[in-house]
A = this chain, B = another copy of it.
């Protein structure tokens, strides 16, 4: 061994990494999500990991969390690289992509994007600094049919169902309902109220009431109305009747209620309770203008949203002078996956994808083993040949340690039979590589 200094290999906080068994499950999840998105006709897009800083900060909001790149040996006078930052979400890249490739795209443009994103969080906060998001968005010129507001939670419902994760609920709301209701109450700055109500789950009704009274200057009746609305929740479109029943009216509220009703009616065939209208879901971002989504685990609502999204009126105004509204939803893959891994609630996959290990009876008969493996591979089985001639017990042990389900024994002499051993049952039987199935 060389006498070089040892650099202790340690995990970097906020950058998750998995063993092969866990990675295999993560890959199954990613394949499943991708297939779910494609089943509805969404096309894959990948963008570079970086955007120009100008693009990343063009909305001015999250500049604090951006990682910028610098060449280790850069001339300090040369700041070309300092103009690049890792993307912190997949929305800014989508906006830039749609603007840049505008003439090559067919609208409505339906894309999915499953990529890593980075946030320059301080390491001690224990938050992810690199994580994978799975986004779908529908972008159109001038207007996006409401149909998609219902389709997106349907897709997410289908996709999450297939992952076998603990029970969750998709909550939805409509910003027009909130804003229209507050306007109907005579409130001048509905956005301030939305921001306050967004804190409801953290600070409770008294906390929200205090903000509304003291900071937003609302009258007691107005505060009461806001809190009454926030308490309304329901799994079907009768929720819209309940809101209308509060006796507040405005044109925007009517528009919002009609949209909410439409979306809930479209989703009425989903299992009861999987999608719930919840007037306390506000989504803080100014960005959203209509339907908003937020999903959380039923047994751990405090964990926060596992997917989120909504409808926006202006995707890419900072990049192109076209009105490009859209509706999108993002699954926080790493957030969900890492939580369940930490809680031991993710079934580990196999350590390797091998279906069959072909044993090598002796050095002389390695050719036979290689031929057998080639035949099995042609038939779709992932197949390894044991890497050397060794005692059969050792070869079987290797398969067992790697979680390989079958060990194949080619003939020990010309004309002899092939045999295959099922390591789970221990059974061993003659088999023909041309027709064998597991």
Contact = CB atoms under 8 A, between A and B. Distances in A.
B54 A63 contact: no
Interface string A142-157: 0001011000000000
A191 B235 CA distance: 74
Interface in A49-106: 49-55, 58, 63-74, 80-81, 84-86, 96-97, 99-101, 104-106
Given A43-B24, A100-B10, A147 B387 contact: yes
A2 to B, nearest CB: 5
A17 interface: yes
B69 A86 contact: yes
B111 A20 contact: yes
Give chain A's interface residue range (CB within 8 Å of chain B): 35 or more
A5 to B, nearest CB: 8
A145 B388 CA distance: 7
Interface in A301-330: 314, 317-323
A298 interface: no
B81 A72 contact: no
B2 A23 contact: no
Nearest to A322: B1
Contacts of A46: 17-18, 23, 26
B1 A321 contact: yes
Interface stretch (A236-244, A247-255, A346-354, A409-417): A346-354
B67 A70 contact: yes
A378 to B, nearest CB: 9
Contact of A353 (B38, B116, B319): B38
Copies in the complex: 2
Interface string A321-348: 1110000000000000000000000000
Contact of A15 (B44, B48, B314): B48
A74 B122 CA distance: 9
A110 B352 contact: yes
A306 B223 CA distance: 67
A80 B122 CA distance: 8
Contact of A320 (B9, B18, B51, B402): B9
A425 interface: no
Q: Name, among A24, A68, A322, the residue most crowded by chain B CB atoms within 10 Å (CB to CB).
A: A68
Contacts of A10: 52, 100
